[in-house]
Structure 1
Amino acid sequence: MGQAQSAVTKTQEQMATGKRVLSPADDPVAATTILKLNQELARTEQYKKNIDVADNSLSLEDSTLQTVVELMQQMNVLAVKAGNTAVLTAADYKSIAAEVDTRISELMNLQNTRNASGQYIFAGYQGDTQPFVNKGGGNFEYLGDEGQLFLQASASVSVAVSDSGKKVFVDIPSDHNTVNTSASSSNRALPASVVSVGQIVDQELFDSFYPEDMVIAFNANSAVVPNGPNYTVTERSTGKVLVANAPYVSGEEINVMGVSLSISGSPVAPTPASLPFNFDAAAAPIDFSANPTTLKISVGGRSETLEFNSLPVVNNVADFAAMLNAAPNAAKLANLGLTASATGFVSANGMNISVQGGNPALQSATGLTTMAGVVSTNGKAGDSFFVESTDKQGLLTTLSRFSEAMKSVKDTPESKALLSDLVAKTLSNLTNSITNVVSVQGEVGARQNTLESSRDLNLDVNLFVQQELKSVQDLDYAEASIRLSMETLVLNASQQSFTKISQLSLFNYL
């Protein structure tokens, strides 16, 4: 009777819930299938949410890019207008430059667009970081990365939902070899000195120098007479001096290898680095002809090997300094920008000095543990600025150079000729920028089409899974009703039999 009651109760629960399988014990195989189908439905629902998020992100990106394209087309019109150098005056160009500056601010806001969650859409993986910042002097810096966010749209489809600002707005092929200018992150001037965006004023000369980079490093004030701020321009890869100890005036034009730029502010001069000597008089006289050795000395990544293998003997630190300032060591020290005296090695440009090698005799002469290696720590380099060759030009840089050129133009044929050349480059680079942005727009559209296809596929999968789930899980009410009637009949019969049997006793048979 208990089994009959359980059967009736189970069937009633099945009919109340509409489900055939109430627990894994009812049908282990079906229960496993139901679990898998429900998991598939949950995944499909998450894909639907992902597609909605992705579609919103791509729609925002597409509308932003379309606004950028329209802005660039307006800039193209202004550039064509600016090409009329025979009619326009310097005052006219300043008016056009003011409008370009307004558009630059508008463009920067577009490039720093945020989504509904407050994330910057063109910052790559750095969604919390403003990707484009104004560094002054017409220079802009991209602080995001090259990351691209993806969302899963279906079991087999993953769709990119963002593009880095570097790809869209920075890495744009330039119509000509050009430069990017920047200040070293280790500069110490407060307020910081600012380097201008720069212009190529002699393309042929610069092309002969390309792809080398330049470093503008500020020297000790004592490097020029009369003493004052000055700088040296070197080729970055080799250290070759291009301009030596040029007097510095804030805002004054600097022309080197076909590049024109300016630096504004008060760059900090270097703090010289030094390795002082401490001659061991007890070791004198020191005869290097009998104890020959070499010393590797390095500054700023460049090295020379000093030689100690000849007479005269060294009786004091003055004798040792004289040996350093004689051939062949003198030229080697000069190559590194070092001086040597009785007080020690000095690097006037502030780059620290390292020495390695030698023998006990050399250690006695210098008072330095050269065999273990010694590095100075008191040097601080002067402020420096970089001019990096590149075949790419960011959109903001293109417009900034266009504006700066119009602000500085003069009503002379030579100045107008330079501006005319810059306008031609601006038009070409704007065309390249539009092409690049439109190409990304096309990619965005293709991704949105992929999302729609995935949405349709997920609907089909959802319908199929629900049908499968229904066939495995749902109750057949007709069959259940018949079964419930039979189980109820059995239960009633059991109860009636139990009632009759329970009333029987031996007294009924006496």
Structure 2
Amino acid sequence: MRIASSTLYQLGLASMNSQQGALMHVQQQLGTGNRILTPSDDPVGSTRALIVSQSNAINNQYATSRKQANTNLSMELNSLNSVTTVIQNIQTLVVQAGNGTMSDADRASMASSLQDAYNQLLGLANADDGNGQFLFAGYQSATPPFSKNGSGAVQYGGDTGQQLLQVDVARQMPTNDNGYSIFMSVQNTATYVASAPAGNTGTATFSAVSVTDPTNPDYGKNLSINFATDTVTGKMQYQLMDNSSTPPAPIGTPIDYTDGAGIQIGGLSLSVTGAPKDGDVVNLQPAQQAGTDIFANLQAAITALNKPIVSDADRAALSNVLATTNRKMANSLDNVSTVQSSVGSRMQELDALDTIGSNRTLNYKQTLSGLQDLDYYSAITEYYQRQTALQAAQQSFMQIQGMNLFKYM
């Protein structure tokens, strides 16, 4: 069988190209450190590596979301810490304002201090993140959540939404709390609030309310203590009332009033001192029904302190307003503390998710390393083998070039 010289040349050239291509492939592997340069090198391994890379990219996005969530919650927590400090200062001022030795000027000065605290509290309620996004506006983060209406009362202009971030595969986390739930609400566990209407004309003042029997059938209702003189005996009496019903229903029969004696009503206990007059009332309301607006509560105290004291009735009215303010402020502080705890818990959860995410990233990297990373020992051995094979192919081609009959003629 005759073999043409051109065929020999083509075979030799093809062998050298093949060996050179294999050598260059190994060189590229050594240069990049990757075993798989193209999907054809390992179709199964390439597919698995792509899936792992995508999973790792998603995990990294979760990490970015957690970082943003942590930033938002940190700013909120800092603001809430300041709110707590302001409320505690307000409580201190309210207690000081109850000092019976103060003059009208002293009380006006105290009212001025409370007004400064009021403005500070309003500023904190309208805190933003430094980029014009308000922390406590819900979804309406582009506009200030709190503003004053025409009568000077603070109103909430945001909504009750919470912005969510996907911080892990199955976890969407709220990264803010709306201002209504912080400054206009109290916890369901908040205690009763005692208050006296502005129309009271006597000198009766009430003590703090304590819960004695939460199983009482009237517990949780809107209650009141109504004072009136017995037309027969001429003694001052009080009638316990259930204001939750329509019309309000009396609880039991009228009881003779004793200055400073304890009064039991609906599982609650308090004492009333002083001399009430006909028509005077002490209201006992669940905290959620007694007015939960922290700004309105504080404004009531400021207004009362700016009013001159002319009579003992005025002094009693101020004492009652301050007592109500103090109770409501305590309820507001408990509410803010609950939100603080929630924010802290979410930040703690983010730390735990970060640890899990870091471990997941490490696993992904190890898997990718097993699929893609080059075994340098094997690659260097193959490199020298390919190099030797290429040199052999080159030498063979040189020998074939020398096979010419004309050399022997």
Cα pair distance change 1:211/1:90, threshold 3 Å: farther
Distance in 2 between residues matched to 1:142 and 1:88, nearest whole Å: 35
Distance in 1 between residues matched to 2:47 and 2:105, nearest whole Å: 81
- Quote the residue 1:497 is aligned against: 396
Distance in 1 between residues matched to 2:57 and 2:79, nearest whole Å: 33
- Quote the residue 1:135 is aligned against: 149
Distance in 2 between residues matched to 1:448 and 1:125, nearest whole Å: 21
Answering whether residue 20 of structure 2 is matched by residue 35 of structure 1, we say: no
Answering whether residue 109 of structure 2 is matched by residue 81 of structure 1, we say: no
Give a deviation string over 1:17-58, Cα, whole Å, max 9, x none. 000001111111111111122222222322332222222222
Q: TM-score, normalised by structure 1?
A: 0.57
Answering whether residue 76 of structure 2 is matched by residue 61 of structure 1, we say: yes
Cα pair distance change 1:139/1:454, threshold 3 Å: same
Task: Work out which structure has the larger RCO, using CA pairs closer than 8 Å and 6 or more positions apart in sequence.
Answer: 2
Equivalent in 125, 131, 144 of residue 117 of structure 1:
131
Tell me if the contact between 2:183 and 2:294 (Cα under 8 Å) persists in the aligned partners: yes
Tell me if the contact between 1:138 and 1:404 (Cα under 8 Å) persists in the aligned partners: no
Secondary structure of the residue aligned to 1:103 is helix
- Quote the residue 2:356 is aligned against: 457
Residues 375-394 of structure 1 aligned to structure 2 (within 5 Å): 390-394=289-293
Residues 10-409 of structure 1 aligned to structure 2 (within 5 Å): 10-84=25-99, 86-172=100-186, 175-176=192-193, 201=199, 390-409=289-308
Secondary structure of the residue aligned to 1:124 is coil
Tell me if the contact between 1:41 and 1:465 (Cα under 8 Å) persists in the aligned partners: yes
Distance in 1 between residues matched to 2:176 and 2:40, nearest whole Å: 48
Give a deviation string over 1:329-369, Cα, whole Å, max 9, x none. xxxxxxxxxxxxxxxxxxxxxxxxxxxxxxxxxxxxxxxxx
Secondary structure of the residue aligned to 2:155 is strand
1:8 positional shift: 0.9
State the percentage of identical aligned residues.
Answer: 31
Tell me if the contact between 1:93 and 1:406 (Cα under 8 Å) persists in the aligned partners: yes
Secondary structure of the residue aligned to 1:148 is coil
Tell me if the contact between 1:176 and 1:391 (Cα under 8 Å) persists in the aligned partners: yes
Answering whether residue 14 of structure 2 is matched by residue 7 of structure 1, we say: no
Tell me if the contact between 1:172 and 1:392 (Cα under 8 Å) persists in the aligned partners: no
Cα pair distance change 1:211/1:418, threshold 3 Å: farther
The structure with the greater share of residues assigned to helix is 2
Secondary structure of the residue aligned to 1:13 is helix
Distance in 2 between residues matched to 1:72 and 1:468, nearest whole Å: 54
Equivalent in 478, 482, 492 of residue 377 of structure 2:
478
Secondary structure of the residue aligned to 1:153 is strand
Q: TM-score, normalised by structure 2?
A: 0.70
Q: Which amino acid aligns with 1:429?
A: K
Distance in 2 between residues matched to 1:154 and 1:467, nearest whole Å: 21
Cα pair distance change 1:153/1:200, threshold 3 Å: farther
Tell me if the contact between 1:83 and 1:420 (Cα under 8 Å) persists in the aligned partners: yes
Distance in 2 between residues matched to 1:211 and 1:501, nearest whole Å: 115
The structure with the greater share of residues assigned to strand is 1
Tell me if the contact between 2:198 and 2:317 (Cα under 8 Å) persists in the aligned partners: no
Q: Which amino acid aligns with 1:5?
A: Q
Secondary structure of the residue aligned to 1:133 is strand
Distance in 1 between residues matched to 2:159 and 2:298, nearest whole Å: 23
Of the structure 1 ranges 408-417 and 127-136, higher mean CA displacement relative to structure 2 is found in 408-417
In structure 1, runs of 5+ residues without a counterpart are 179-198, 213-257, 259-388
- Quote the residue 2:207 is aligned against: none
Aligned length: 315
In structure 2, runs of 5+ residues without a counterpart are 1-14, 201-223, 227-240, 247-280, 282-287
- Quote the residue 1:313 is aligned against: none
Equivalent in 361, 368, 374 of residue 469 of structure 1:
368
Cα RMSD after superposing both structures:
2.8
1:104 positional shift: 0.5
Distance in 2 between residues matched to 1:12 and 1:201, nearest whole Å: 96
